[in-house]
Amino acid sequence: MNKVSLSTFCRENGLVRDEVKEWLIENGYLVDIYHATEQGKNIGISTAMTKDGKSYLVYNGQAQDILREGFVKVQDESGQECAAFPRLRLKEFVILDTETTGLRGDDEVVELGIIDSKGDILYQSLFRPQKQIHYAASKVNGLFNKDLIDEPLFKDEWENIKNAIGSRIIIGHNISFDKTMIMQTLARYDMNDNEAKLIFKNCRDSMVIARQHLSAENYRLETLCRTLGIVDEQKHRACDDCLMVLRLLEAIEQRI
């Protein structure tokens, strides 16, 4: 069997690269994402180079079989703990969404919502921003500075946000945007972002999940929901969008 990269193996088998990487490290096959241990080398994990000199890991047939018999089996067994999403192997997760003052490097979060896998709201709050909300953002989410004067500052709600998430995996649509905006908002208040980095370490993107299982005109949330016949009106508010992501995941789970 020809060697394949970790990314290719994960894509072909519908797996999450970071989860596979962590399993390989925990079981002694990797030192880190670019370096195999002797144990890893013995089963056919090795390093290759791209044209620009960057290293990446490749796997031969024996290594791929071990991954299928080891990681995939473990994931299948653990996935049974979440009866609602066994095919997607999703368990112990929350869905998170933010609304922001805009899309730039100095913008910040003005609303954050978190729900669980049953659709129950775990956290929802508006925040008083320290800058003007861009007109284009207000046009989408309906939020204006004058309406947020009496709302708390993001920094004063950070502990409550962390508690709502707990140790669960975060899922969101284009979750890297929400992560970036939360990091920017923490930086605005000179808060340490190490906690945020840890919280988002194992996040999952519903856009990536959709790409693995669906063919669509584009992978925007509203397009996917329309394609799948999810008729809930998307209001571009945090908890409403969280519920749309949950409906999307449910629809994908039923189709695969």
Residue 234 is predicted with a pLDDT of 56
* pLDDT tens sequence for the chain (256 residues): 468 877 887 777 767 777 778 778 877 888 877 788 888 888 888 888 777 777 777 888 787 777 777 666 555 545 444 556 777 878 789 999 999 999 999 999 999 999 999 899 999 999 999 999 999 999 888 899 999 999 999 999 999 999 999 989 999 999 999 999 999 999 999 998 888 888 998 789 999 999 988 888 899 998 998 888 887 655 678 899 999 999 999 999 888 7
Residue 80 is predicted with a pLDDT of 47
Q: Is 253 helix (H, G, I), strand (E, B) or coil?
A: helix
Residue 98 is predicted with a pLDDT of 96
**The tokens 């990091």 sit on which residue?**
183
Encode burial over 98-126: b for 16+ CB neighbours within 10 A, e otherwise.
Answer: bbbbbeeeebbbbbbbbbbbeeeebbbbb
Q: Read off the pLDDT of residues 9-39 as tens digits, 9 standing for 90 and up.
A: 777 776 777 777 877 887 788 887 778 888 8
Beta bridge partners of 121: 115
- Rounded Cα–Cα distance for residues 221 and 86 (Å): 22
- Rounded Cα–Cα distance for residues 153 and 155 (Å): 5
CB 62 within 8 A of CB 44: yes
What is the Cα Rg of the chain in Å? 20
> Would you list the DSSP string of 29-97?
SEEETTEE-HHHHHTTEEEEE-TTS-EEEEE-HHHHHHHIIIIIHHHHHHHTTSTTSTTTT--SEEEEE
Q: Is 126 helix (H, G, I), strand (E, B) or coil?
A: strand
Residue 8 is predicted with a pLDDT of 81
Query: What pTM was estimated for this model as a whole?
Result: 0.69
Q: Read off the pLDDT of residues 230-243 as tens digits, 9 standing for 90 and up.
A: 876 556 788 999 99
- Rounded Cα–Cα distance for residues 205 and 167 (Å): 17
Residue 72 is predicted with a pLDDT of 62
- Rounded Cα–Cα distance for residues 44 and 233 (Å): 50
Residue 160 is predicted with a pLDDT of 96
8-state DSSP, 103: S
8-state DSSP, 201: T
Residue 21 is predicted with a pLDDT of 80
Residue 42 is predicted with a pLDDT of 83
- Rounded Cα–Cα distance for residues 202 and 200 (Å): 6
List the domains of the chain with CATH numbers: 4-79 (no CATH), 93-255 (3.30.420.10)
Tokens read off for 101: 């003052």
Residue 79 is predicted with a pLDDT of 47
